Structure 1
Amino acid sequence: MASVWLAGLALLLAGPVPALLARARWTRSVPRAAIVLWQAVASAAVLAAVGSALAAPEALLRVFTHPEERTGVPLAIAVGAAAVLAGLIVVRLVGVLVLLAVRTRVRRSRHRDMVDLLARAEQGDSVGTLRSGTVLRVLDGAVPFAYCVPGRVGREGRVVVTGATLDRLCPAELRAVIAHEQAHLDARHDLVREGFTALHQAFPVVVRSREALEAVALLLEMLADDAGRRRHGDDAMAGALDAFACAAAPDDETHVRRDRIRAHVHGGRALAAGTYLAAVALVVVPTITIVIPWLTDALPTVGVR
């Protein structure tokens, strides 16, 4: 039964749970804790899938053989099948993650070179001092926007803004935007996105969900917004997002982020603590209630006492 419970849990955490969690509004009050919760959901789903693959052959062995027959060839087949099934899941996930990481870094390297080539010779006095390891690049453009390109070993990260951003934002708003992008670089939010992208690509199409990708991306932006708010105030961060929202579609996440700041949304410690506890419980509770009892019964079958 452990394999059935774990398979059900994996399907639940891969589909319905992300769909419900993505619709929740309270997560926007505690973006950092909510991201940890999303990571726990993803980790628990993977662990449940691997656990189900490991437990399924042993469960079939129990169903179709008598206790005295669970040795020799049948046992070897069950153990081998469990290893192959679990290995396929792990190898698939690791392979997707490695391939994605390599492609992403090649693309970023080209992007950094292109940004350096096209950048204007711009003084950054109005922006303030960037932290070590980060370079400001200004591109020609009539639409205000900003983004960052993470660096790698021996290469500095880039904060990229358009000329329209410098023209339309006041100094405080511009500094808030730079602080936002710097927060992405400092906390390596790109690695969080890579992890969820790899999980999305590795899961079968019938159970994968875009809700996790989109929800985590929005929460990461809100987390970086909070960094800008702390350093330069709500008005500066919201004013910058006002300028960006004018050039964005009505349903763009920029409007949601601006409205959140205008509403002065701040999560309490109790909500954050509860979210962290829920994240821990997602991994610990199935381990205690399903995995440990299964191992207690299954290990003697393969000669482990």
Structure 2
Amino acid sequence: MASVWLAGLALVLAGPVPALLARARWTRAVPRAAIVLWQAVAVAAVLAAVGSALAAPEALLRVLTHPQERTGAPLAVAVGVAAVLAGLIVVRLVAVLVLLAVRTRKRRARHRDMVDLLARAEQGEAVGSLRTGTVLRVLDGAVPFAYCVPGRVGREGRVVLTGATLETLGPHELSAVIAHEQAHLDARHDLVREGFTALHKAFPVIVRSREARDAVALLLEMLADDAGRSRHGDDAMAGALDAFASASDRAGYGTDVVERLDRIRARVRGGRALAAGTYLAAVALVVVPTVTIVIPWLTDALPTVGVR
């Protein structure tokens, strides 16, 4: 039964739960806690899938054989099949993650070199007082646009702006944008994105969904917005997003920047109680299945293989 429960849990955590959580509005009030909850959902889904793979052969052995026959070759086959099934899940996930990490870092290295080559030094110096501790690069561009390129060990990341951003935004708005992008770099939000991208690619197509990846990406932007708000005020951050929203069709920002702007204008900020409840829910997602399903199964299964 443990394998059935764990398989069902894995399917629920890979499908209905992300769909419901992606539509929830309260997560916008506590983006940091909501990201932790999303991570807990992902971890619990993977653990449930691995646990189901480990438990299924043992459950089948119980159904097909008498207790006195659960030794020797049948037991060895069940243990071997369980190890192979669980290993396939883990190896696939690790392989996808490593391959994605290698490709991403090569692409970012080329990107950093390119922006360093194309940057307008005179424009970067024009905002020198606003970029303390930040490696800023300004590129030619007629549309207000800003992003960051994460660094690697021994190399700093880059905050990249277009010339139109400098011309469109006021000093406080520009500072808020730089603080937003620097928050991404300081907190290594790129690693969180990589993890969810790897999960998306590793999951079977029939249960694969973009909802988790896209929802976490938006929450990371909101979390960085909060960094800009806390340092330079709601008005500065809202003014910058308003300029970006006006150019969203041309710049490819999409509807996310409009949603972020509405959130700031509504002064959305979550309370400690909501954040604490979200963190507790994240812990419960991992702990409760372990206590109620995995531990009882191990208690029954381990003696079967001679572990007491």
1:106-125 to structure 2, matched below 5 A, reads 106-121=106-121, 122-124=123-125
1:1-305 to structure 2, matched below 5 A, reads 1-121=1-121, 122-124=123-125, 126=127, 128-130=129-131, 132=133, 134-249=134-249, 252-305=255-308
| Offset, 1:135 | 1.0
CA distance in 2, matches of 1:245, 1:127: 26
CA distance in 1, matches of 2:154, 2:25: 40
Equivalent position SS for 1:161: strand
CA distance in 2, matches of 1:141, 1:130: 20
Letter aligned with residue 27 of structure 1: T
Deviation digits for residues 231-283 of structure 1 (CA, Å, limit 9, x no counterpart): 00000000000000001149510000001000000000000000000000000
CA distance in 1, matches of 2:126, 2:287: 50
CA distance in 2, matches of 1:91, 1:154: 30
Letter aligned with residue 165 of structure 1: T
Equivalent position SS for 1:128: helix
| Offset, 1:129 | 4.7
Deviation digits for residues 86-129 of structure 1 (CA, Å, limit 9, x no counterpart): 00000000000000000000000000011111111124453635
CA distance in 1, matches of 2:203, 2:51: 15
Equivalent position SS for 1:206: helix
Q: Any conservation in 1 of the 2:130–2:175 contact (CA below 8 Å)?
A: no
Deviation digits for residues 104-162 of structure 1 (CA, Å, limit 9, x no counterpart): 00000000011111111124453635354x41000000000100000011212100000
Letter aligned with residue 107 of structure 1: R
| Offset, 1:206 | 0.3
| Offset, 1:10 | 0.3
Q: Any conservation in 2 of the 1:127–1:171 contact (CA below 8 Å)?
A: no
Letter aligned with residue 130 of structure 1: R
- Over aligned residues, Cα RMSD in angstroms? 1.1
CA distance in 2, matches of 1:9, 1:275: 19
Change in 2 beyond 3 A, CA 1:124/1:263:
farther
CA distance in 2, matches of 1:96, 1:90: 10
Identity percentage over the alignment?
A: 85
